[in-house]
Structure 1
Amino acid sequence: MKLKSPEDIQHMRRAGLLLWQAHQVAAALIVPGTITTDIDQRVEESIVSGGGLPLFKGVPGKVPFPAATCISLNDEVVHGIPSARVLREGDLVSLDIGVKLDGWCADAAVTYAVGVVDAQKQRLLKITEECLARAISLLRPGVRWSKIAHKIQRHAEQAGFSVVEDLVGHAIGRDMWEPPQVPNFFTRNMPDFKLRPGLVLAIEPMINAGGKEVFVRPDHWTIATRDGKPSAHFEHTVALTEEGPLVLTCGPNGEGWGMG
């Protein structure tokens, strides 16, 4: 567990603001008819023009991840690859972006409705965003993460949804993925940790409308729901200070998803 100083957190906030700007560029393109590669191109241009690096591009795997943005549609949970696919009315689209600026990382994700979506998808978006907001609000020094994870899971399951257990959040700093892992579910055997000032976490509930089971598609990256039902994903990078949580990937005036 790598704790960050107040100065480190200030650097990470600057990375978070650059990431926020990239998300705003992408958000303006979430309309029917947009090609997902166009979103990715605009996101990468925004990051690079701000002096940052798109962290997802080139991440090793069976094949390196080819884009700056993970763009996942409908039943895709995470790691969707931008392509010639076109956004259509009624889709859900999840955008997950990571940046590095001056040696510090930020990570954030949000799921949007494309035009008008059905009632189930609307409720899925609402509950998943609430899961993130509740997790952030509960961050306090001395609290065990398992307590927060249990509340995330309970909120999702009381709504009739399920929490993905094959994927978790993570600590973040000079590296995108730092220990400890940050699950959105509770089991008695799960690794646990106590929250301490200086800890910076990428908190990212991934909630499915159907079952929790997922699989990896043949492109080696896209993770989708096993039952084909939709999924949503909301994420912020959050620092824990002596005074409480500080969201590093919200807008300059504290605006953003999962903020209350």
Structure 2
Amino acid sequence: MTVTKQDELDGLKEIGRIVANTLHAMAKSMEPGMTTRELDDIGKALLEREGAVSAPQSSYDFPGITCISVNEEIAHGIPGDRVIMSGDLVNIDVSASKNGYFADTGATFHLAPIDPSLDRLCHDGKRAMRIGISQVGSRKPLAGIGKAIGRFASDRGYTLIRNLASHGVGRSLHEYPEQIATWPTRGDKRRINKGLVLTVEPFLSRGGHWATEGDDGWTLYSEPRAPVVQYEHTVVATDRGAIVVTLPG
């Protein structure tokens, strides 16, 4: 989607606020002993209260309202009977629509007791996302996002999952440009047009390079197996940089 009018930006900010509030409320409610389905039910209630519709469920018939991935699961985890435990690494991905506008956000949380190396990975995962967002702006190279994130990851000894990309969003969950690398690439000459709506969502890891699909047809795992974190915002490109629409409020 390309934003051309204020009411379009307002619509994106509304659904962005809803998914951000939902994500943060779910994270605040998360505690050892609860199941991922119970956590997903919290997200369901919050989205319904705001008149928003789960995007993965409505767009892809995903068997849950939000995606909740624990430890070895790195994305698209199906909410179910899995019990969240102390020390777990939990990724929550919330995407939804309202009044024809879509927004997508996600974050990884580390439950106490804190493992310093995982805590550092989470901290640097957020930094990687922010570095990517800093490369978003009118007429900037789309490949600049992955180039900057890749430099940051390499300098600190991390790897990036290279088949889970950022994407266009706005009028649907995934739209043009559908593959926006958050790792260094060659040959991508595309430029970011003013008003483009996209996600920035690097998957930072301590050794993982690829995402592989599990037996359930949805859940993704790191190959080789290694801790992975993901942080994601939906942003709009402007002449002055990126407007982040997935902010709580």
Report the TM-score range of the alignment, normalised by the length of the smaller protein: over 0.9
Specify the code of the residue in structure 2 equivalent to 1:156. Answer: A
How much does 1:182 deviate?
1.4
Counterpart secondary structure, 2:38? helix
**Identity, % of aligned positions:** 28
How much does 1:58 deviate?
5.0
Residue by residue over 1:47-71, the C-alpha shift from the partner in whole angstroms, topping out at 9 and shown as x without a partner, is: 01101101111543xxx42001110
Following the alignment from structure 1 to structure 2, what is the Cα–Cα distance between the partners of residues 228 and 70?
Answer: 20
Query: How do residues 171-190 of structure 1 correspond to structure 2 at under 5 angstroms?
Result: 171-180=168-177, 181-189=179-187
39-48 or 206-215: which moved more? 206-215
Residue by residue over 1:97-152, the C-alpha shift from the partner in whole angstroms, topping out at 9 and shown as x without a partner, is: 11101110000000001112312211111111101111112222221021221110
Query: How do residues 245-256 of structure 1 correspond to structure 2 at under 5 angstroms?
Result: 245-252=242-249
Distance 1:12 1:113, change over 3 A: same
Instruction: Indicate if the aligned counterparts of 1:40 and 1:82 stay in contact, CA closer than 8 A.
Output: yes
Specify the code of the residue in structure 2 equivalent to 1:247. Answer: V
Counterpart secondary structure, 2:103? strand
- Give the aligned CA root-mean-square deviation in angstroms: 1.4
217-226 or 153-162: which moved more? 153-162
Q: Determine which of 155, 171, 178 is the counterpart of 2:152.
A: 155
TM normalised by structure 1 equals 0.90
TM normalised by structure 2 equals 0.94
Instruction: Name 2:114's counterpart in structure 1.
Output: 117
Instruction: Indicate if the aligned counterparts of 2:146 and 2:185 stay in contact, CA closer than 8 A.
Output: no
Following the alignment from structure 2 to structure 1, what is the Cα–Cα distance between the partners of residues 30 and 247?
Answer: 19
Specify the code of the residue in structure 2 equivalent to 1:111. Answer: T
Deviating 4+ runs (over 4 angstroms)? none
Specify the code of the residue in structure 2 equivalent to 1:204. Answer: E
Residue by residue over 1:181-204, the C-alpha shift from the partner in whole angstroms, topping out at 9 and shown as x without a partner, is: 211012214x34212221111111
Instruction: Name 1:84's counterpart in structure 2.
Output: 81
How much does 1:235 deviate?
0.2
Instruction: Indicate if the aligned counterparts of 2:164 and 2:211 stay in contact, CA closer than 8 A.
Output: no
Question: Gaps spanning 5+ residues in structure 1: where?
Answer: 253-260
